[in-house]
Amino acid sequence: MAVKHEQENGLLLDDDGRTRRTGTLWSCIAHIITAVIGSGVLSLAWSVAQLGWIAGPIAMLCFAIVTYVSVVLLSGCYRCPDPVTGTRNYSYMDAVRVNLGKTQTCLCGMFQYLYMYGIGIAYVITTSTCMSAIRRSNCYHEKGHAAPCEHKDIPNMLMFGAVQIVASQIPDFHSIKWLSVIAAIMSFAYSFTGFGLGFAEVIGNGMIKGSIAGVPASTRTKKLWLAFQALGDIAYSYPYALVLLEIQDTLKSPPPENKTMKKASMIAMILTTFFYLCCGCFGYAAFGNNTPGNLLTGFGFYEPYWLIDFANACVVLHLVGGYQLFSQPVFEFVERWFSEKFPSNGFVNKFYKFKLPLLHCFHINLFRICFRTAYVVSTTAIAAVFPYFNQVLGLLGALNFWPLAIYFPVEMYFVQNKIEAWTRKWILLRTFSLVCLLVSIVGLIGSIEGIITAKFG
């Protein structure tokens, strides 16, 4: 599409009237890697340990391939009806609404916002365990590895919740760009630290631990549940369908945005998969059957304690920003719905000016304060009741994987490309979707079983 060179306030505009897009292949790769690599990388060593030396790496490779297929299908939906010259869809739900209609959009929204809410719960759990790990690491360093250094997670959850209640009053998504940059830097810092510690442990051991079958379990059924849960954890670590179209919307054209996205995704998936294999496999090679659920908090590593403290602090800083990145779209959706539903209600729509000394004037809305506070309190309360890192990540991965990364992209591809039923392409994609659905179901079952077992014994 040719760019119209009109100007507004000195800015070049694209053909849709928005500020001219300047994204390139390399900026797209950076966005994708930042979106994919997160706290899920810390559970990959445990996942490989449950699946073993053959099934574990193969599972990660399969999820990488499936994610790329999903990208190929979804990237063509950025423009409709033609993937090169059609009208832009700025978000995932825009694409679903244009291609699949209102009912499917409501279903998509339910899965999307449920997943974002679940991410908030997972981040509360992860942050509290990392804060506890910092205190335990210092305790072990001072008193020895056998010292009783256990710390409760609940106070840390309450502290994180209090911070998020304040941070949640940030008006909208566009006001937290600086928070996103910090979060991205932190995610790379702790991910590379986890990989480096695992690599150093393998060198120090002088051997590669682990087995083809993975960690033994008391019964075959228990082994099956753990393998299913591991698949859910891996599923959590890969897909980025929720933000793919937003990333694609940053790309300049020509070349066509979908071609740039496919190329960037291929490069990003290769780099990410290599990094994931290194983290997961070196972690398992270092600890074998004793591989912890979280490389940085399970205390496979005790020294250097300052590096472990630094990595866990990076996780905490990342998740402070990450919580807002996933919560702000929910806030915006709910507040917009109430505003449209009750346009004359002062509690919902009226803003009050509030001035603090030496600071800018704040605009306070009572509904925003009440709703966002209740939202943070609810995620904190659920995390306190179910504080199980691997199980919760597996549950979220299984819930998100099939509907958002597979089902909707496949259905939109059928509509946009007018694929008729029972043709070869239709059968292949239906089979692909069905297999991914089965993987999601077993991952969901394994994670739910893991939560029940951890909660009730």
- Kindly report, residue by residue over 17-27, the tens digit of the pLDDT: 555 677 788 88
The predicted pLDDT at position 437 comes to 94
Question: Per residue in 216-246, pLDDT tens?
Answer: 998 999 999 999 999 998 988 887 877 788 7
Structure tokens at 91: 């978000």
pLDDT, average across residues 387-401? 87
Cβ atoms 3, 254 nearer than 8 A: no
pLDDT tops 90 at residue 340: no
Please report, rounded to a whole number, the percentage of residues in the chain having pLDDT higher than 70. Answer: 90
Are the C-beta atoms of residues 318 and 150 closer than 8 Å to each other? no
For residues 263 and 27, give the distance between their C-alpha atoms in angstroms, rounded to a whole number: 12
Say which residues have a Cβ less than 8 Å from residue 364's Cβ, sequence separation at least 6. 351, 352, 353, 354
Q: How confident is the model at residue 3 (pLDDT cuts 50, 70, 90)?
A: very low
Whose tokens are 């150093």? That residue is 200
Residue 176 confidence class, pLDDT cut points 50, 70, 90: low
pLDDT at position 358 is 65
Q: For 417-441, write each residue's pLDDT tens digit.
A: 888 989 999 999 999 999 999 999 9
At residue 441's C-alpha, the angle toward residues 438 and 107, to 5°, is 100
The pLDDT of 358-370, averaged and rounded, is 78
Q: Which residue has the tokens 């990595």?
A: 311
**10 or 366: which leads in pLDDT:** 366
Structure confidence at residue 8 (pLDDT): 45
The per-residue pLDDT for 9 is: 47
- Give residue-wise pLDDT tens across range 190-222: 888 888 888 888 898 888 998 998 999 989 999
Residues facing residue 355 across a β-bridge: 361
99-148, pLDDT tens digit by residue?
998 899 999 988 888 888 988 898 899 889 889 888 888 888 888 877 78
Calpha distance 192→307 (Å, rounded): 11
User: When comparing pLDDT for 339 and 188, which is higher?
Assistant: 339
pLDDT at 336 over 60: yes
Q: Identify which has the larger pLDDT, 360 or 382.
A: 382
Whether the predicted pLDDT of 1 surpasses 50 = no
What digits encode the pLDDT tens for the residues 45-71? 999 999 999 999 999 999 999 999 999
Separation of alpha carbons 8 and 286, rounded Å: 58
Q: What's the pLDDT at 356?
A: 66
Per-residue pLDDT at 2: 41
What is the reported pLDDT for 144?
80
The amino acid sitting at 136 is R
More confident residue, 455 or 374: 374
Residue 255: cis peptide before it, omega within 30 degrees of 0? yes
C-alpha distance from residue 79 to each of 72, 201, 240, 261, 310 (Å): 13, 48, 18, 13, 43
What's the confidence (pLDDT) of residue 10?
47
- First vs last C-alpha separation in the chain: 60
Distance, CA of 92 to CA of 299 (rounded, Å): 39
pLDDT tens per residue across span 276-321? 998 899 989 998 998 888 887 776 667 788 888 898 898 888 888 7
Share of the chain above pLDDT 90, in %: 30
Q: Which pLDDT band, with edges at 50, 70 and 90, does 11 fall under?
A: very low
Say how far apart CA 398 and CA 406 lie, in whole Å: 12
Cβ count near 277 (within 10 Å)? 17
CA distances from 320 to 176, 324, 388, 446 (A): 11, 7, 19, 29
State the pLDDT at residue 378.
95
Mean pLDDT estimate for the chain: 84
* Spatial distance between the Cα atoms of 207 and 204, rounded to a whole number of angstroms: 8
Query: Greater confidence, 149 or 14?
Result: 149
pTM of the model: 0.84
